[in-house]
Amino acid sequence: MLDIKFIRENADLIKEAARKKRLKVDLDQLLKLDEARLKLMKQIEDARAKQNLANSEITKADPTSRVSLILQMTELKSGLAKLEGELKSVITEWKKLMLEVPNVPDMSVPEGDSDADNVELKQAGEKPNFDFTPKSHLDLLGDSGLADFARGAKVSGFRGYFLTGGAMRLSFALWQFALDELIAQGFTPMLVPALVRPEPFLGTGYLPQGAEDLYKTQDGDYLSGTAEVATMGYFMDEILTPESLPKKIVAFSPCFRREAGSHGKDTKGLILVHEFFKVEQVVICQASHEESVKWHEKLLKNAENFVQKLNLPYRVVTNCTGDLGLGQVKKYDIEVWSPGENRYRETHSISYFHDFQTRRLNIRYKNGEKMNFAHSLNGTLVATPRLLVGIVENYQNADGSIRVPEVLKKYLNEDIASGNN
RNA sequence: GGAGAGGUGGCUGAGCGGUUGAAAGCAGCAUCCUGCUAAGAUGCUAGCCGGGUAAAACUGGCUCGAGGGUUCGAAUCCCUCCCUCUCCGCCA
């Protein structure tokens, strides 16, 4: 959500933002409603002022004038009721539109329609040279029984999977490594709920627009697709002290996504699944663009370091406008090299929002006399099983066995054997 | 699932039809005092939307979980919903 004053004063900028993000929003209608809203509010407030004045007179009045005053107020009241009815319907429509207004992408974000238009920022790491034909993770894990997709489907349905032995242990090793890395940097580790009420979803921008992609329970709660939702919800409706900022959280949770509308894509393997796990970086900082940018770069750096320490070849892309969510100002993706597919695959996503989320979530801090909405950012540190793809494919041997990255050996000190372990 | 209690400012908590945007305490800020490691005195301190101003001052309205209702007037009465807590049941 944006500040209505900002919207009024920058209507063209926001229209352009919507166009760039390939989103539709009837801004003229919103502005029209806003004008009506202010006008009605003014009328109502004037009437109320009269009423309040009369009320204090009634309290002090003698019995006779009291009766006539009360009579006058009865008349005023019926006119007020009518105005209030009008205002209510205007506000309902106004609020609905307000939730649809996109945040403005940063100047540095390239324009484009989809992820195909994302712009490569850098490539890093060395792609492995195999003296054999590298296998895909599907074969590496599937053939050896480390991943079981047939039983996954039997038990869990489409896109279901089981991970066994080394694949399961590799997941734990990655989570633990990710956690250790960020704890060392002063991030607070947090295990957060995946079962979350609607409010934090509205606040983070996943509702109402993203309802299709969320699993909903019969109690009206939703399963979150990222730990960001609960972590931001943690601070909802709170006033933070400026000294407590930035809040740096490294959150872990299972993640659930319906992936509605992506039925044809990546139907096999561990790339696109309905249920996965994520270690997520979340930062809430003071409300300045510079702070946001600084932390955005820092979160990217953290994720890059993580991938580098695993010695995985990767590239960084700046997401184009059409690939940005409603609230995102800018987003970087990290894509890890997949020898099995001979292409990069997205593994990390790091974005900042300015006060788009905190405004919806009502997360503020007091800066001297002034209340401010904080700024928020988040980014992947590791998502499994997707990152397993890059690891097993880059660390495979000719015989189908898989080595363990050096940095993970303290958590998993044996090869990820192929075969029946 | 059954039974009860309750949702008020940064926190604790009073108020239970008009003088209450809200007592008191805590916390915070300011000034003063004290010569000793902490205490005392006084004052100030909610948010949101408008008007106003260079910025203030000033000023109108709203907000005591949410939404309706009763009333000239509701934190206070009535209804619906949401949420929290306690006990019992169930349970990893």
Query: Which residues of chain A (179-198) touch nucleic strand B at CB < 7 A?
Result: none
Q: Which pLDDT tens digit goes with each residue over A108-139?
A: 999 999 999 999 999 999 999 999 999 999 99
Q: Separation of CA A286 and C1' B66 in angstroms?
A: 31
DSSP A109-128: SPP-SSGGG-EEEEEES---
Calculated CA dihedral for residues A178, A179, A181, A185, nearest 10 degrees: 140
CB atoms inside a 10 Å sphere around CB A48: 13
Q: Is the pLDDT of residue A370 over 90?
A: no
CA-to-C1' span, A372 to B39 (A)? 36
Distance A364 CA to B82 C1' (A): 24
Task: Return the pLDDT at A420.
Answer: 44
Span A327-331, average pLDDT: 97
- The closest nt to A56, taking CA to C1', is B18
Predicted pLDDT at A23? 94
CA of A244 to C1' of B40 (A): 31
Nucleotide nearest A54, CA–C1', reads: B72
Residue A86: name the closest of A39, A124, A130, A131 by CA.
A39
Residues 347-406 of A with CB under 7 A from strand B: 364, 366, 369, 371
Q: What is the pTM of this model?
A: 0.93
A342-367 pLDDT per residue, tens: 999 999 999 999 999 999 999 988 87
Q: Compute the average pLDDT of residues A192-221.
A: 91
pLDDT at A261 over 80: no
pLDDT band at A78 (very low <50, low <70, confident <90, very high): confident
Within 7 Å: CB of A67 and strand B? no
The spacing between the Cα labelled CA in A54 and the C1' in B68, in angstroms, equals 25
CA of A197 to C1' of B2 (A): 25
> Whole-number Å distance, CA A74 to C1' B79?
23
- Our measurement of CA A104 to C1' B56, in angstroms, reads 33
Which chain B positions have some atom within 7 A of a protein CB?
10, 18-19, 47-50, 60-62, 68, 72-73
Give chain A's end-to-end CA distance (angstroms, integer).
51
Average pLDDT of span A211-238? 92
pLDDT band at A417 (very low <50, low <70, confident <90, very high): low
**Which is it for strands A247-256 and A147-148: parallel, antiparallel or unpaired?**
unpaired
The predicted model gives A222-229 an average pLDDT of: 95
Contact between the CB of A239 and strand B at under 7 Å: yes
**Whole-number distance in Å between A205 CA and B46 C1':** 28
Interface confidence, given as ipTM, is 0.86
The mean-pLDDT minimum among A7-16, A69-78, A81-90, A346-355 falls in A69-78
pLDDT digits (tens, 9 = 90+) for A8-37: 999 999 999 999 999 999 999 999 999 999
Residue A281: predicted pLDDT:
98
Cβ of A260 < 7 Å from strand B?
no
In this structure, what token pair is assigned to residue A353? Answer: 């929002």
A146/A259 Cα distance (integer angstroms): 24
Say whether the CB atom of A54 is under 7 angstroms from strand B. yes
Helix (H, G, I), strand (E, B) or coil at A187: coil
Q: How far apart are CA A174 and CA A309, in angstroms?
A: 11
